[in-house]
Every structure is written in structure tokens, then in C-alpha cells.
A and B are shown apart, each in its own frame.
Chain A
Amino acid sequence: DAGVIQSPRHEVTEMGQEVTLRCKPISGHNSLFWYRQTMMRGLELLIYFNNNVPIDDSGMPEDRFSAKMPNASFSTLKIQPSEPRDSAVYFCASSFPQRGGTDTQYFGPGTRLTVL
């Protein structure tokens, strides 16, 4: 399997522009997670989906952020308008239910976003 696929790998944009990050989860996984990682705050969960339905979006910082999962194999995280403080590495992860234990989350390679 190719693992979790994220695009683009790097994005440089100017303040005020719209940014769209994309994720393809591992086939057969039914949960998908979006994280943000910064030096100051570490790795933070933004939102997660189960069977394409948003379950917890309490980590989404503000209305400028939105996420969608139109089908089991694709999700987007959109920032509009972008601000310099949004600069971070954004990770997508996916998991599937495991009997007798907790789900293992598999992370993608991340998108490094720089907002000038």
C-alpha cells in the first residue's frame, strides 16, 4: 500500500490567499485525522472524521479553517484567508478499527505551509 498521501508537500503563499491541502487515506481505513505541528504548540488535532462524518472539530482554530471529506478516499483542509500564524506542517492520518485494542493512526508525510 502507498500509505497516506498528502499534497502538496510544500506550499508557499501570501497572506490573504486561500490554501487547500489534500489527503488520500489508506484504502479500507474509516477514520481520518488532520493535525497541525509547530515548534511552539507541538502536534495538535484539528478535526477527525469517522466514515466520512466529522466527529470532533473542536481543534479547528477559527472559522478561517474548514475541512471536508466527500468520500472515503479523499479529504481537504482549507484555510481562507491564510495568515502568517498558520505557517506549520499539516499532517493527515488515517486508521481502522482494531479488535481488543485502540486504533493505530498512520500518518502521511505532511504539507509544509509557509504564509508570507
Chain B
Amino acid sequence: QKEVEQDPGPLSVPEGAIVSLNCTYSNSAFQYFMWYRQYSRKGPELLMYTYSSGNKEDGRFTAQVDKSSKYISLFIRDSQPSDSATYLCAMILSGNTGKLIFGQGTTLQVKP
């Protein structure tokens, strides 16, 4: 079993839809939870990160962490065609700078 599980999709939605992307994990020691966005043939870029449990909002993006369920989510409101990309969740142990564990990534297509 992988430490981080993420449905690869693809996920196709119409423009304006609310998108929900999810990851589950097995290691309860993870403390920081990130979401990266990767456009085709580009490197991943950090969207946002959350420490421990709770919600964090940044514009149209909301990240949620439920440590009791070992489940994290990224919500995208009013999705745009420019949001079409692969979204990777990533996690890191507390105090362990550097060693990110990535999910497989979910490919999202937002159709105009």
C-alpha cells in the first residue's frame, strides 16, 4: 500500500463547476499537507499548504485536512479552463525538512 493514495482521474467538469480533489494517507505522523499544480510538460508549483488539521482558503481554492480520517481535500470554486492541469497532493513529516511524499496526481480538465 502506498503512503499516499490519489485517484488519477481524469476528471472532466464544465466551466464554473465546483471541483473536489482528494487524497488519503496512512502515516499519522504527517504534519504538513500541500497541493501542487502541474501543467503539461512543466514542473509542479505549490498552490497552498496546511499545517495539521483544518481549512485554508486562498481565492477560489480551499484546502481541508481531516487528520482523524487521514483525508485531505482541495476544492476549486468557479472552475476555469485555465485550471486544467494535474493536481498533486504531497505530505511531509513534522521536522523533516525536504522529504515530500507525493500522491499520484489527479488530471483535471475544465471544459469551456
Residues of A at the B interface (CB closer than 8 Å) are 4, 31, 33, 42-45, 48, 50, 55-56, 91, 93, 95, 97, 101-110
Residues of B at the A interface (CB closer than 8 Å) are 32, 41-46, 49, 51, 88, 92, 97-105
Pull 19 A–B residue pairs with CB atoms less than 8 Å apart, ordered by A: A42-B102, A42-B104, A43-B44, A43-B88, A43-B102, A45-B100, A50-B98, A91-B43, A93-B43, A95-B97, A95-B98, A97-B97, A102-B51, A103-B98, A104-B49, A107-B44, A107-B45, A108-B43, A110-B43
Cα A55 to Cα B97 with chains together (Å): 10
Cα A58 to Cα B51 with chains together (Å): 26
Closest residue of B by beta carbon distance from A43? B102
The answer to whether A31 touches B43 (Cβ under 8 A) is: no
Contacts of B105 in A (CB 8 A): 42-43
Cα A8 to Cα B43 with chains together (Å): 14
Cα A104 to Cα B36 with chains together (Å): 11
Q: How many cross-chain pairs have Cβ atoms below 8 Å apart between A and B?
A: 56
Q: Which DSSP category, helix, strand, loop or mixed, fits chain B's interface? A: loop
Q: Which DSSP category, helix, strand, loop or mixed, fits chain A's interface? A: strand
The answer to whether A55 touches B42 (Cβ under 8 A) is: no
Cα A103 to Cα B98 with chains together (Å): 7
